[in-house]
Amino acid sequence: MYRIGMFSKLGKVTVKTLHHYDEVGLLAPAHVDEENGYRYYTSDQLFRLNEIMALRQMGFSISEISAIVDGHNITGILTQRQAELENEVQNITDQLFRLNCYINEQKEGHSMNYQAVIKEIPAYIVYAARYTLPNYAALNEIMPALGEKVSKANPGIKCVEPGYCFNVYLDGEYRDKDINVEICEAVTTKGKDGDGIIFKEIPAISAVSVLHRGAYEKIGAAYAYAVQWAEQNGYQIVDNVRESYIDGIWNKDNMDDWLTEIQVPVVRK
């Protein structure tokens, strides 16, 4: 048998670690001298120590290792860790891919006017109405009028905070005229349908988010960037694009200060 110091050298672990494994019941000494308290281990215990070390290097916690070596729920614990590692690999791969694209953009001298991020947009209750717009400027009149109409038909109705007003473009591509759109505003409760207005629940989505500063007529560049970014970074577009209005005619006098968020619903390919 080996004294704890020699066993620690054989196993390439610290004495402190062996003390801890003993305290938690993972690896007790084969013998403890009653007179001096010296701990002794056998060479066969190196197999148990190696298994513990291997599981630690796979990222398992001490409690999980205890369950595994004792034969408790082995399949469940291993499967859960497998899923965790696969998710970590996917996240790291995603980050590396996006970093490489960012580096390439800088090398190619792009102006970097836009940046894209993935956002999780929660589910909402919204009121919605569909229109065909002659151009984007028409929104400046239609959207305030729609809000007034809904408020009049539904006294006391409240928008969510922070506000989430957005349009869903139904044509499947960017257009600068004859634009088919569904105008939506997130509210706390459903109201009365009527006069072309409906209340409905919309699902949560993952979306490529790009911010556009300025007039709506110039928003096409932001669309192009968002769609290209999604394709280059391994995402599949799964639904119509949303435009979320953060600042606009209702709170900014200068249209150069308007702020719109392009939200492209996506999933990983």
pLDDT of residue 183 exceeding 90: yes
Q: Does domain 116-268 have CATH number 1.20.910.10?
A: no
3-state secondary structure string across the chain: CEEHHHHHHHHCCCHHHHHHHHHCCCCCCCEECCCCCCEEECCCHHHHHHHHHHHHHCCCCHHHHHHHHCCCCHHHHHHHHHHHHHHHHHHHHHHHHHHHHHHHHHHCCCCCCCCEEEEEECCEEEEEEEEEECCHHHHHHHHHHHHHHHHHHCCCCCECCCCCEEEEECCCCCCCCCEEEEEEEEECCCCCCECCEEEEEECCEEEEEEEEECCHHHCHHHHHHHHHHHHHCCEEECCCCEEEEEECCCCCCCHHHCEEEEEEEEEEC
Instruction: Work out the pLDDT band at 225, boundaries 50, 70, 90.
Output: confident
Q: Which amino acid is at 149?
A: K
Task: Please report the pLDDT score of residue 124 as a whole number.
Answer: 96
In the chain, pLDDT over 90 holds for what percent of residues?
Answer: 66
Residues 87-91 have a mean pLDDT of 88
pLDDT tens-digit map of 131-148: 999 988 888 889 889 999
Compute the half-sphere exposure of residue 174: CA atoms within 13 Å on the CB side of its CA.
15
pTM for the model stands at 0.65
pLDDT tens-digit map of 30-79: 999 988 999 999 999 999 999 999 999 999 999 999 999 989 999 999 99
pLDDT of residue 161 exceeding 70: yes
pLDDT tens-digit map of 98-157: 788 778 767 766 545 788 899 999 999 999 999 999 988 888 889 889 999 999 999 989
Mean pLDDT check: name the lowest of 16-25, 150-159, 211-220.
Answer: 211-220
Residues 210-226 have a mean pLDDT of 87
Instruction: Name 40's bridge partners.
Output: 3, 31
Task: Please report the pLDDT score of residue 137 as a whole number.
Answer: 81
Residue 255, C-beta contacts closer than 8 angstroms, at least 6 positions apart: 214, 215, 249
Task: Please report the pLDDT score of residue 108 as a whole number.
Answer: 64
Residue 154, C-beta contacts closer than 8 angstroms, at least 6 positions apart: 191, 192
Task: Please report the pLDDT score of residue 131 as a whole number.
Answer: 95
Mean pLDDT check: name the lowest of 76-85, 149-158, 229-238.
Answer: 229-238
Domain boundaries, the chain: 2-72, 77-111, 116-268
Tell me whether the CATH fold assigned to 2-72 matches the one assigned to 116-268. Answer: no
Mean pLDDT check: name the lowest of 124-128, 160-164, 232-236.
Answer: 232-236
CATH architecture of the domain formed by 2-72: Orthogonal Bundle (1.10)
